[in-house]
Amino acid sequence: MADRYAGPNEVSARQIYRRVARALSKAEPAEQRAAIAQVFLRNMTLGAIGAGRIMANAGRDIHATMVNCFVQPVGVGAPGLSFEAGLDEACKTLAMGGGVGYDFSALPPASADPKARDSMPGVCAAIDRYDAACAGLTFQGSRRGAQMAVLACNHPDILEFVRAKHGRTRWSTFNISVAVTDAFMTAVQQDEAWSLLHPALPDARSISLGAAKLACGLWRYGQVPARTLWRAIAGQAVHSSEPGILYIDTINRANNLRAVETLRATNPCGEQPLPDYGGCVLGPINLTRLVRHPFGLGGQPTVDLKRLGQMVRTQVRMLDNVIDLTEWPLPAQAAQAHSKRRIGIGVTGLADMLAMMKLRYDSEPGRSAARAVARCIRDHAYAASAALAAQRGPFPLYRPNDYLAADAIGSALPVAVRQAIAAHGLRNSHLVSFAPAGSVSLAFADGCSSGIEPAFDWAYRRRLQLRDDNTAEMVVENHAWRLWKHSQPPGSPIPEYFRKSADIAPADHLFMLAGMQPFVDAAISKTVPVPGNYRTEDAQELFMLAWRMGLKGLTVFRPDAHLAEVMTSSVNVSASECPTRSPDTCG
């Protein structure tokens, strides 16, 4: 907290909350600001905070943005934007604290005619340039630049791209993902050939090898068996934990604004698909603060959904204010944001919440409780956005049919919410996004399980990057485990409903993701940990299952003893070593 989020003279979370609340109330009428600031402050105190850039930058006299995530063009496909200009724009956004995703698919392949590459490099060379530029930037605090490279599955350089991070040493500022289409997944199922296409003119060698101009204006650089490419993607995902997969057709079908925009890339952690120059303002809610009678102490454990709904409604207003108050790195980002007003309410501490309710993460009762939370967030977020539209007006690109048609999100909302939308429109195009929430969970939520992920371990060592370029290794204790230890006699065995991430079968990770995704209009950041002996064939089956489930994206992680890890499970903490502070002060 002190290293990443505290401003000068701030030594407590409440001081940070007060600064942020006051700053974000400035979008309100002058006579209401003091009262609204108190509402925001109370909501943060209850566990509804802003994402990292809000907590670090709101109300401070620094040149930084409050927006965590962006997508930007790479200098082709955008009118009048050269490759160098696109790279310059990326550096401006990264330097102000925003993470950026890019679709590199418009860049020419390595085997294109040299004239096609006179003003722009090929895909992997371009990513090298972006990676080096980001690594060379100076950042405020200990946060470093984060980027996402996405490439379409039919780009001629797809195999080089997929293999580029073998060994996890190249492109240190990037995550990478392949945008796979339904057509490709069908080709894999049917063992068909897969065409590699691009509009750039091939070089003479490629033409001599059979490259052909197609009626659609694309050149076919060649064909590969779809299963060969599929195996390469899955094999590298197992070996290097990258690439991840984006089910891009599913993403676009589920987009509220699919009639007016096409999504080709996401932010660095994958929870927010965005158009070019799109950004999203994020804010998670700590679910551990909403459990009544945790572990059955004093009564049946339940989640206070009424309070959650109230917190969501306040969170919508606070995040909407950010759009009007933040600094935007680029004018095009401000224009996109004001025309659509995307925000993303998320969660953290889901797995801890389930443990406190005595529910296993990998059980149907656990998934049912998670779905109830996600549904509550969605319904109250849309209700609050409609109410805000009644006060401030709907977002400029709002069209009723995008939300109230038979196949739109409104069909799944409660009748009263649909009626409110019909009467007032919506202030925000998108409202729900489940981000990783890792650092803010350490800083403001007592080290609870982050995002929707299970806990890594109950006590572990974590290596922290500090603002002076040094690192610190610290012991982290899981919030739910800490509370349980306080309530038990020393030496009590840990109950079976405490489930670490590695204890959960990969398919059960997917079932949790699939249960929550229908209530999330953006996407969910989720990594599936797999054992060290996980096979490529296993990953192929898992990725195929995820597509059939209708998920929007997936990443797997296999531990590698040869690489330094941020977190290590090498701590044994007994009941007698548990901290002495009261459980009521945790979080």
* Angstrom distance (rounded) from CA 165 to CA 147: 14
* pLDDT at residue number 581: 30
> CA-CA distance, 64 to 57, in Å (whole number)?
6
Tell me if residue 464 falls in helix, strand or coil: strand
Write down the pTM of the prediction. 0.94
Pairing of strands 147-152, 99-103: parallel
- C-alpha 6/C-alpha 12 separation (Å) is 8
Domain residue ranges of the chain, discontinuous segments joined by +: 69-254
Residue 554 phi/psi, 5-degree rounding, is -160, 145
Residue 62: DSSP 8-state: S
Half-sphere exposure of residue 422, counting CA atoms within 13 Å on the CB side?
A: 11
Do 150 and 137 meet the contact criterion of CB atoms below 8 Å apart? no
* pLDDT score of 140: 59
Q: How many CB atoms lie within 10 A of CB 472?
A: 10
Give the whole-angstrom CA distance, residue 319 versus residue 167. 39
Nearest to 361 by CA among 506, 482, 263: 506
Taking domain 69-254, whether its CATH number is 3.40.50.300 is answered by no
pLDDT along the chain (587 residues), means of 10: 92 97 98 98 98 96 93 80 93 94 95 73 94 86 82 97 90 96 98 95 81 88 97 96 97 97 97 97 98 96 98 98 97 98 98 98 98 98 98 98 96 98 98 96 95 94 78 90 93 94 96 98 96 96 98 92 61 40 29
